[in-house]
Amino acid sequence: MAVRASREAVFDASPQAILDTLADMDALPSWSKLHRDVTVLDRHPDGRPHHVQATMRLMGVTDRELLEYHWGEDWVVWDAKDTFQQRGQHAEYNLTPEGEMTRVRFDITVDPSAPVPRFLLKRAKSIVLDTAIDRLRSRVTRNRG
């Protein structure tokens, strides 16, 4: 059964600054407590990551994912192939300029390969959303400073 989660927040940054931070895969493990190791396998013609191998750790469970990224002027999406822990994953950031600020919406859908107790799902969602929004915002702010 697929699990969905989303969060929205306003960042004091441009969509470009946010996308640049998301595209910097080398720095991702430094601000994302979920990412242990990230390797860009190939890139789109504009230099942004296309296929990325990532080792993830969430609540004591480690998984190795092959992610396929697609980028737009105000969005990024990725999909994960099947792994030991999940049958699939789709995530996206949609960015909407609001004057000098940007509204950031993050949505993720994960199809776990085995049933997960509700209390663990609630905790996992919180960790993923905190990383996707709050830790990203901190990294974007630090990059601007």
pLDDT digits (tens, 9 = 90+) for 35-88: 999 999 999 999 999 999 999 999 989 999 999 999 999 999 999 988 888 999
Query: Which of the following CATH numbers is that of domain 3-144: 3.20.20.80, 1.10.10.10, 3.30.530.20, 3.40.50.800?
Result: 3.30.530.20
Distance between CA atoms of residues 76 and 18, nearest Å:
10
Domain ranges across the chain: 3-144
State the pLDDT at residue 16: 96
Confidence tier at 143 by pLDDT (50, 70, 90): confident
Closest CA to 6 of 136, 130, 138: 130
Distance between CA atoms of residues 95 and 102, nearest Å:
6
Q: 3-state class of 26 per DSSP?
A: coil
Q: In sequence order, what are the beta bridge partners of 56?
A: 35, 63
Average pLDDT over residues 132-144: 94
Q: 145 pLDDT exceeds 70? A: no
What's this model's pTM, rounded to 2 decimal places? 0.94
